[in-house]
């Protein structure tokens, strides 16, 4: 009988205890299940590291931040299952899993029983793994605004609407203007950087935001970096970015299936990975870790 460790973040916005019980029941049809619960930020990394010593698979029921923590705790190729329990849950949705947590768990359990996995690449930025997206500048600033709002009384983060308002506020404070403020080696100067390991980059409720539509989990990293943004070009630039129509645009730097991206900032700028604030950086190195992990899909 296979041994599965189920890591649950009870503070993720979509996690409920009745669903935890249902997910455990579903997984037990294919494996022995031991549940572990996160107690603080970063705890999932420790739990995943311990689980990887003996588990045949690790299933994480949480949001994207906890998925990120978990893959950063594992050095051997133990299969992962990602059950959607966050506000966006980008990773499981991008892998084609159902949005419903119990339905996703059923798919994962079937894949586990059949021995069916998909090998995917991961990204790294300054040594920190990420699953689907990372960014410097505007993107990281929006993430930080959400972090700065803190959490609700039950420990949950702000929802997608608050994130959207943070983006709007950032635009208004900059007076709808972004000048080149970093250098991407081999590409040139840009205002900010999106780096994608897969597509979509994120979701706005049910709507996928592509940004780098050619990015694939089996390939290297994709780069999208607007050179500058002005008030008169804001709407057009924003639409081209969110709809994934930036390739061959003179105002946007673009790279596909890259192994390494080196960025030097004019001054400290906010960096994020999978929606987690990693602080300010003056330099960043993004690397593709090809075939890094297997996922149950």
Q: Kindly report the CATH number assigned to the domain that includes residue 273.
A: 2.60.200.40
Read off the pTM: 0.91
Domain boundary among 63, 96, 116: 116
CATH of the domain at 85: 3.40.50.10330
Range of the domain at 143: 128-291
Residue 11 lies in a domain: yes
Regarding whether 167 and 93 lie in a shared domain, the answer is no
Residues 72 and 169 grouped into a single domain: no
Q: pLDDT tens digits for 72-131?
A: 999 988 999 999 999 899 999 999 999 999 999 999 999 999 999 999 999 999 999 999
pLDDT of residue 101: 98
47, part of any domain: yes
- Cα–Cα distance for residue pair 237/138, rounded to 1 Å: 14
Asked if 136 and 90 sit in the same domain, the reply is no
Specify if 96 maps to a domain. Answer: yes
On whether residue 66 sits in a domain, the answer given is yes
Same domain for 67 and 158, yes or no, is no
Say whether both 137 and 243 belong to one domain: yes
Question: Are residues 66 and 148 located together in one domain of the fold?
Answer: no
56/138 Cα distance (integer angstroms): 39
Please count the structural domains in the chain: 2
Q: What are phi and psi of 128, to 5 degrees?
A: -90, 125
> Crossing angle for the helix pair 160-173 and 138-148, nearest 10 degrees?
120
| 188-190 vs 207-209, strand pairing mode | unpaired
Same structural domain for residues 78 and 142?
no
Residue 149 sits in the same domain as residue 216: yes
Is 76 in the same domain as 108?
Answer: yes
Task: Express each pLDDT in 3-31 by its tens digit.
Answer: 999 999 999 999 999 999 999 999 999 99
In a domain, 296, yes or no: no
Do 268 and 158 have their domain in common? Answer: yes
pLDDT in tens, the chain (297 residues): 899 999 999 999 999 999 999 999 999 999 999 999 999 999 999 999 999 999 999 999 999 999 999 999 999 889 999 999 998 999 999 999 999 999 999 999 999 999 999 999 999 999 999 999 999 998 898 888 877 765 555 555 555 555 555 655 665 565 557 899 999 999 999 999 999 999 999 888 888 989 999 999 999 999 999 999 876 766 666 677 767 877 767 889 999 999 999 999 999 999 999 999 999 999 999 999 999 999 999
Structure tokens belonging to residue 59: 């299933």
- In terms of domains, do 148 and 179 share one? yes
Q: Nearest CA to 292 among 104, 123, 156?
A: 123
């Amino acid at each position: 009988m296979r041994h599965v460790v189920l890591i649950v973040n009870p503070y993720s916005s979509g996690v409920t205890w009745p669903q935890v019980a249902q997910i455990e029941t579903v997984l037990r049809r294919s494996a022995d299940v031991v549940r572990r619960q996160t107690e603080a930020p970063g705890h999932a990394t420790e739990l995943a590291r311990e689980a990887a010593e003996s588990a045949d698979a690790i299933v994480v029921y949480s949001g994207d931040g906890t998925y990120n923590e978990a893959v950063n705790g594992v050095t051997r190729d133990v299969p992962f299952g990602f059950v959607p329990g966050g506000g966006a849950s980008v990773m499981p949705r991008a892998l084609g899993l159902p949005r419903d947590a119990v339905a996703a768990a059923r798919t994962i359990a079937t894949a586990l029983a059949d021995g069916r996995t998909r090998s995917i690449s991961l990204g790294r930025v300054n040594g920190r793994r990420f699953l689907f997206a990372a960014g410097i500048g505007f993107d990281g600033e929006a993430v930080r605004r959400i972090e700065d709002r803190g959490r609700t009384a039950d420990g949950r983060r702000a929802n997608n609407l608050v994130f959207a308002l943070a983006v709007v506020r950032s635009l208004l404070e900059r007076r709808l203007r972004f000048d080149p403020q970093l250098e991407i080696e081999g590409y040139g100067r840009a205002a900010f950087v999106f780096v994608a390991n897969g597509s979509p980059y994120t979701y706005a409720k049910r709507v996928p935001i592509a940004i780098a539509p050619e990015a694939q989990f089996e390939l290297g990293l994709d780069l999208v970096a607007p050179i500058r943004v002005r008030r008169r070009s804001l709407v057009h630039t924003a639409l081209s970015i969110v709809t994934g129509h930036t390739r061959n645009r003179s105002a946007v730097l673009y790279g596909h299936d890259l192994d390494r991206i080196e960025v030097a900032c004019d001054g400290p700028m906010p960096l994020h990975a999978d929606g987690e604030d990693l602080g300010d950086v003056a330099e960043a190195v993004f690397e593709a870790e090809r075939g890094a992990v297997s996922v149950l899909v």
